[in-house]
Structure 1
């Protein structure tokens, strides 16, 4: 059996890639390659190292196990894949709804897939949709700030496009494809400026997972605006709310216990903002906005129904999905296109003038 040479230049066959060629590239037998790629009902299990080696070889050679997928360039289906992080998250539900509305008008079927923020699943879904001859894929979840993952994603997208498919991303994924770009940085700057204009100078920030490019963009926008206003944001004033209500509630409780002088919290999505409001009101006994102002991000449908109603940065979520689907309908171009969508501040009653200083006797809560 030949030994694998993963660092050697990859020469791709002119015709459809066979399982045997994948096996030779990985340095395994055809049977092992088949078990690694397709699974087996028998007792012989392929180890994780071998499985990854075979999958890497298949990806490098652009092998797809479904033979009809080799004809993708000549005959596509009416299916469009929409890959999100979590179908239960209202942010992704709104984007998917916008995409589905346009798809319905043009006779396209949307296949929705959730990765649960697992980058490996995103790669797997993209390969499966290519094998199913899907006409296009919308990558609606945030990108991952990881060079190796980005390299692998770019290779998968290149293979998909080489077979005649079309890929559109929402936000920056670090790959060359059509993109609908929400104003994450500008929106975060709007949030900071709004609170600053209300007199706030002591800011805290509830973030999400730093591995996500959406989080990095929003955090960067907030930091840049604070820096431009001459205000520091020490690391101790930034906590990870995990993009969930419960984690954000815990994070806010920890932050305000450690930094009781804070008067303003910028929260990087509305789901987390709901948890932050609960922590301030129910756990810490603080008044919003009298003691602490809170601003969210996205303007999800429930934001106006929170207690108090949430000031937030509105992104046109349904329009994001609709724009992505419109790009699919017009087809791919030689040079990738970018559509920028603006953010808008929606002012409600969770923000107000800065509270008195902690030592002010007129402010007993602080």
Structure 2
């Protein structure tokens, strides 16, 4: 006779598998008395025998939180990590960091490793892909299994089914930036789009171009590149070489999908003898800490990066015995600075 599964108990009780797990596996994060009684009654009626390994995971609190980021050298990720760490210290938790360098296999390995070391919670930071892959399927399955056993999960970027999420409004922020620049008098634009397979890059590029089209404008060029300083340098170099960008009074405004790329683009322009903003204007996205001291100061969309990290950490520290995951959207604020200033 095959053993009764936790999923069968959950269905019999009319609750989620996560709720059933918290009741039967001894998690301190259990639901109210009514739900608890229903789950225990269903388990007794079906003859369910709890799994010892699942009970061990549900009951243990190691004080460890796994944080998975794409590139810790990028101030976008390090600022978020600082916010996570700040809240962790307040609650006597330790943060374990894994940097994937954009390797999808490394992301999955980090998650499985943190789970095997019984981290109480996981926070994943970074863009998802535009197309669902086998890696994404495996990762979602691993996160669901962990969550069903009582683990806490939050993502920063795009929402994932069944877990908490902190979601920056990339498309809306990019559109607001383009609108502000058109309002300043800019009429000729090029876009450094970032990696075409990342949803963050695609959403920001879409936001830029849709806003421009509302004013009857089209980018003269759209050049992809990596989400790095060197990626921005190389994309700008291709723009200069292939599209004939040259010195000229108020000739072109570059919309760049993140600040790190924008810094690389400005370095390329200096290398080619062009001045920002006198010859070419540049705008980025994120408002990373380093751009506040950059000369000229970079026009960008400010995201509260550290606060995003704090929010995700608070989410995973909160009891999640509920049916629906939480999702918080984060708006960006356009910051017009010297890098897009037009000469009068």
Q: What TM-score do the two structures reach when normalised by structure 1?
A: 0.74
Preserved contact between residue 138 and residue 167 of structure 1 (Cα < 8 Å): yes
Instruction: Give the one of 219, 222, 229 matched to 2:215.
Output: 229
Q: Could you say which residue in structure 1 is the equivalent of 2:329?
A: 340
Find the counterpart in structure 2 of residue 55 from structure 1: none
Query: What does residue range 131-210 of structure 1 map to in structure 2 within 5 Å?
Result: 131-148=116-133, 149-210=135-196
Secondary structure, counterpart of 1:298 in structure 2: coil
- Matched-pair contact (CA < 8 Å) for 1:69–1:133: no
User: What does the per-residue CA deviation read over 1:213-269, in whole Å, with 9 as the maximum and x for residues that have no partner?
Assistant: 2112211211221222222236xx111231121231121122133334661101111
2:255 corresponds to: 266
Deviation per CA, 1:120-168, whole angstroms, max 9, x where unpaired?
Answer: 1111111111111111100112222231233222211111112110110
Q: Of 298, 314, 318, which residue of structure 2 is paired with 1:310?
A: 298
Matched, 1:291 2:279: yes
The equivalent residue for 2:102 is: 117
> What's the offset of the Cα at 1:174?
4.0
SS at match of 1:350: helix
Where 2:140 maps in the other structure, the secondary structure is: helix
Q: Is the 8 A contact 1:226 1:232 kept in 2?
A: yes
Which of 77, 90, 95 pairs up with 2:62?
77
1:255 equivalent to 2:248? Answer no
- Do 1:69 and 1:130's aligned partners in 2 also have CA atoms closer than 8 Å? no
Which of these residues, 73, 91, 99, is aligned with residue 106 of structure 1? 91
Q: Where in structure 1 do 4 or more consecutive aligned residues deviate above 4 Å?
A: 11-15, 67-70
Structure 1 unmatched runs, 5+: 1-10, 16-66, 356-366
Contact 2:76 2:288 (C-alpha < 8 Å) held by counterparts: yes
The structure showing larger relative contact order (alpha-carbon pairs under 8 Å, at least 6 residues apart) is: 2
Report if aligned partners of 2:64, 2:120 keep a CA contact under 8 Å in 1.
Answer: yes
Of 189-198 and 162-171, the range deviating more from structure 2: 189-198
Runs (5+) with no aligned partner, structure 2: 7-51, 246-250
